[in-house]
């Protein structure tokens, strides 16, 4: 299959599964923000994010290695999955060593001890689901991966309504819904993916285990560094402004996830193509064309979201959360840069340069921590949003420069800089101009400019795909 058609086909398959699961987080927002107050929502978010930062530490980020090594045609898949399961189970047992110290920590009005049991179970179920997901994706079981996304959507929705509305479990119910859904997902992947064929208890290749650990261990600090950039600001907002302010900030961060939705769908497919085509002679041209289309899509969606963020916030959250809209525009720009960074990460995955992924992430994490400490005490959640934006810009610049050592693809700087300027002006207008009539008029005009500015690469890629389809079928 032609590489562009293969990328498009995989993107479509991933879209079927990912879109339903990602869109659920937006559809549940009105329900959750009416059931849970800002304090409870902020607490639930801290529980979830704490578990998410523990997972890469106790599992050695072995799920990422499972994806990369499952992509290698010469690797024994049973060695890959068995190694992943062994390390995940060992890490879960090791977590017992520092679960007690964690339970003694408090941040302002939030106590970890109240939720330590939930965190412990969450770490296990999420670790196993992530491992199985990444393995089936790397094992070219993309349809199974997609169907799992649909099933996870249905189970999360059902358990959330059951635990919050029927059982009225509050914060515990919110987290238990995720845990229950993850367990269902693990069972589905294991049975219908016939993953039992890839599990063995002896004669596991020591070479595979060693190489997987060698690849994954540098990703531990990388993942933690990403957590610092993406999530640490929520702990700092809680510390300086309280758990209710974190609830507002968490609600605001959900709307930029529309950008992440489109990015994730594409990147899941792109990582497979990047590895498959990495040794081809025209890889630089391939990367250049795909990056242009990717950028065009990301910035067009970002522009549309900034234009409509007040409307979306009013629809998606209760009145208690409406003020969170003012944090959204800056977060959207930061999210756009994070999506560009994720594209560049495909080069490190193909090259197995996990150390460089760590080094570039460190630059952003250090920037983020310093700016959070400076800006949050004075600007509150908006200070956190600005710090996150600048951190992602730093990572993008460092990665853009470094990855060109491996693939000299065109970054289309003129279109990139122009798109950033347009959404920056949009942000200034919506935050600084009070008259809503003027705001929406200017925002609509700027969105149309963005659409026209990025139309060419989108149209060219569409023509390429249509042309190849016609040639094959006529």
**Among 169, 202, 217, where does a domain finish?**
217
Task: Report the pLDDT value the prediction gives residue 469, as an integer from 0 to 100.
Answer: 45
| % of the chain exceeding 70 in pLDDT | 90
**23 and 138 both lie in a single domain:** yes
Q: How far apart are CA 368 and CA 220, in angstroms?
A: 18
Of 292, 306, 341, 346, nearest in space to 455 by CA: 292
Task: Report the pLDDT value the prediction gives residue 26, as an integer from 0 to 100.
Answer: 67
**117 and 171 both lie in a single domain:** yes
pTM listed for this prediction: 0.79
Q: What is the mean pLDDT of the chain?
A: 88
- Alpha-carbon dihedral sign for residues 342, 348, 354, 360: negative
Hey, what are 36's tokens?
């849970």
Of 343, 471, 468, 347, nearest in space to 6 by CA: 468
Residue 106: strand pairing partners: 111
Number of domains observed in the structure of the chain? 2
Hey, what are 195's tokens?
């993953």
Mean pLDDT value across residues 458-473: 60
Calculate Rg over the CA atoms of the chain.
22
**Among 217, 252, 286, where does a domain finish?**
217
Task: Report the pLDDT value the prediction gives residue 2, as an integer from 0 to 100.
Answer: 62
106 backbone dihedrals φ, ψ, rounded to 5°:
-135, 150
Tell me which residue has tokens 């409870």. Answer: 40
**320 and 344 both lie in a single domain:** yes
**CB 290 within 8 Å of CB 437:** no
- Binned at pLDDT 50, 70 and 90, residue 281 comes out as confident
**313 and 406 both lie in a single domain:** yes
**244 and 177 both lie in a single domain:** no
Q: How far apart are CA 12 and CA 15, in angstroms?
A: 5
Of 207, 236, 177, nearest in space to 387 by CA: 236
- Binned at pLDDT 50, 70 and 90, residue 56 comes out as very high
Q: Taking 70 as the threshold, does the pLDDT of residue 379 lie above it?
A: yes
Task: Report the pLDDT value the prediction gives residue 465, as an integer from 0 to 100.
Answer: 55
- Binned at pLDDT 50, 70 and 90, residue 11 comes out as low
Count of beta carbons in the 10 Å neighbourhood of residue 459: 12
**187 and 231 both lie in a single domain:** no
- Can you tell me whether residue 107 is helix, strand or coil? strand
According to DSSP, residue 75 is labeled S
Q: Taking 90 as the threshold, does the pLDDT of residue 29 lie above it?
A: no
Task: Report the pLDDT value the prediction gives residue 17, as an integer from 0 to 100.
Answer: 60
**Among 217, 240, 259, where does a domain finish?**
217
Mean pLDDT value across residues 125-135: 96
**Interval 327-347: pLDDT, tens:** 999 999 999 999 999 889 888
Q: Taking 60 as the threshold, does the pLDDT of residue 262 lie above it?
A: yes
Phi-psi region of 90 (alpha: psi -120 to 50; beta: other; left: phi over 0): alpha
**373 and 258 both lie in a single domain:** yes
Task: Report the pLDDT value the prediction gives residue 193, as an integer from 0 to 100.
Answer: 95
**168 and 285 both lie in a single domain:** no
**Interval 385-405: pLDDT, tens:** 999 999 999 999 999 999 988
**27 and 137 both lie in a single domain:** yes
Q: Which residue stretches of 199-324 are H helix?
A: 206-216, 219-230, 232-241, 243-254, 257-276, 283-316
- Binned at pLDDT 50, 70 and 90, residue 287 comes out as confident
**Interval 75-113: pLDDT, tens:** 999 999 999 999 999 999 999 888 888 889 998 878 899
| % of the chain exceeding 90 in pLDDT | 52
**243 and 189 both lie in a single domain:** no
**Interval 153-198: pLDDT, tens:** 889 999 999 999 999 999 999 999 999 999 999 999 999 999 999 9
Domain that holds residue 13: 1-217
Which of 373 and 255 is assigned the larger pLDDT? 373
**Interval 309-327: pLDDT, tens:** 999 888 888 888 888 999 9
**102 and 136 both lie in a single domain:** yes
């Amino acid at each position: 299959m032609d590489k562009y058609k293969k990328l498009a086909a995989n993107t479509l398959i991933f879209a079927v599964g990912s879109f339903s699961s990602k869109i659920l987080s937006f559809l549940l927002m009105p329900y959750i923000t009416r059931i849970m107050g800002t304090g409870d929502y902020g607490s639930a978010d801290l529980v979830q994010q704490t578990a998410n930062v523990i997972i890469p530490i106790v599992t050695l980020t072995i799920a990422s290695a499972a994806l990369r090594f499952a992509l290698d045609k010469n690797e024994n898949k049973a060695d890959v999955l068995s190694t992943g399961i062994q390390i995940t189970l060992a890490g879960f047992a090791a977590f017992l060593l520092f679960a007690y110290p964690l339970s003694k920590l408090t941040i302002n009005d939030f106590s970890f001890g109240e939720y330590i049991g939930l965190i412990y179970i969450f770490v296990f179920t999420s670790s196993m689901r992530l491992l199985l997901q990444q393995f089936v994706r790397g094992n070219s079981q993309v349809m199974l991966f997609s169907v799992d996304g649909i099933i996870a959507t249905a189970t999360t929705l059902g358990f959330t309504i059951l635990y919050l509305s029927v059982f009225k479990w509050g914060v515990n119910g919110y987290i238990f819904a995720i845990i229950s859904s993850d367990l269902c997902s693990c069972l589905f992947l294991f049975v219908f993916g016939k993953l039992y064929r890839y599990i063995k208890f002896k004669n596991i290749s020591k070479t595979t285990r060693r190489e997987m650990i060698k690849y994954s261990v540098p990703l531990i600090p990388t993942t933690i560094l990403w957590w610092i950039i993406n999530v640490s600001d929520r702990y700092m907002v809680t510390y300086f402004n309280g758990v209710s302010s974190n609830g507002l900030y968490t609600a605001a961060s959900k709307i930029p996830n529309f950008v992440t939705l489109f990015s994730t769908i594409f990147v899941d497919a792109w990582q497979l193509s990047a590895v498959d085509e990495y040794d081809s002679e025209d890889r630089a041209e391939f990367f250049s064309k795909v990056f242009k289309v990717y950028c065009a899509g990301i910035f067009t969606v970002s522009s549309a979201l900034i234009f409509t963020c007040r409307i979306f916030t009013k629809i998606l959250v209760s009145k208690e959360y409406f003020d969170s809209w003012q944090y959204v525009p800056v977060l959207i720009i930061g999210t756009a840069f994070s999506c560009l960074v994720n594209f560049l990460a495909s080069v490190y995955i193909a090259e197995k340069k996990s150390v460089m992924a760590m080094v570039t992430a460190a630059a952003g994490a250090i920037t983020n921590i310093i700016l959070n400490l400076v800006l949050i005490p004075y600007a509150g959640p908006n200070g956190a949003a600005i710090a996150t934006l600048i951190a992602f810009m730093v990572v993008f610049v460092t990665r853009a420069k470094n990855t060109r050592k491996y693939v000299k693809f065109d970054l289309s700087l003129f279109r990139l800089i122009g798109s950033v300027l347009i959404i920056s002006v949009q942000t200034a207008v919506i935050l600084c101009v009070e008259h809503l009539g003027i705001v929406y008029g200017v925002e609509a005009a700027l969105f149309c400019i963005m659409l026209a500015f990025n139309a060419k690469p989108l149209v060219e890629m569409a023509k390429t795909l249509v042309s190849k389809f016609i040639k094959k079928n006529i």
